[in-house]
Amino acid sequence: MKQTYWGLVHKDGGSDFGISFLDFLGCVSAASTMTELMEMGSESLTLHIDGMHEDGETIPAPSPMIELPEDVDGIVAITVTVPGKKRRINLANAPTLLVELK
């Protein structure tokens, strides 16, 4: 399932752009341009979520839009695929299943 999380953009004079995520403390990345930052942020978030999934941790739902903190220079939406939410099942040779609805 695809989910969109907010990435907080940080930029100090003479430094690269940085990105951190409201819902994933410790998930950060950096790049020299905004285009690269979007790519690196998406990659970093995907790897972080995959690691959480492998460790059996609960993936948080995206936080609602917030007011920007003073130390944040911008906010971007990063959409990633969250594993474990969707499962593909082959029903071609499956036995018939009867379900009683109450």
20 lies in some domain? yes
pLDDT number for residue 65? 75
Mean pLDDT of 38-62: 95
pLDDT number for residue 26? 94
40 lies in some domain? yes
Indicate the SS3 state at residue 36: helix
Mean pLDDT of 18-36: 95
Mean pLDDT of 30-43: 96
88 lies in some domain? no
Write down the mean pLDDT value for the chain: 84
Residue with more model confidence, 85 or 41: 41
Q: How many domains, the chain?
A: 1
48 lies in some domain? yes
Q: Which CATH number goes with the domain that contains 51?
A: 3.30.160.250
State the Cα–Cα distance between residues 17 and 37, nearest whole angstrom.
Answer: 7
State the Cα–Cα distance between residues 83 and 80, nearest whole angstrom.
Answer: 10
pLDDT number for residue 70? 81
71 lies in some domain? yes
94 lies in some domain? no
Q: List, for residues 74-85, the tens digit of each pLDDT value.
A: 888 899 989 865
77 lies in some domain? yes
11 lies in some domain? yes
The alpha carbon torsion through 62, 7, 44, 61 (nearest 10 deg) reads 0
* Parent domain of 25: 2-81
pLDDT reading at 73 higher than 60: yes
Q: What is the pTM of this model?
A: 0.76
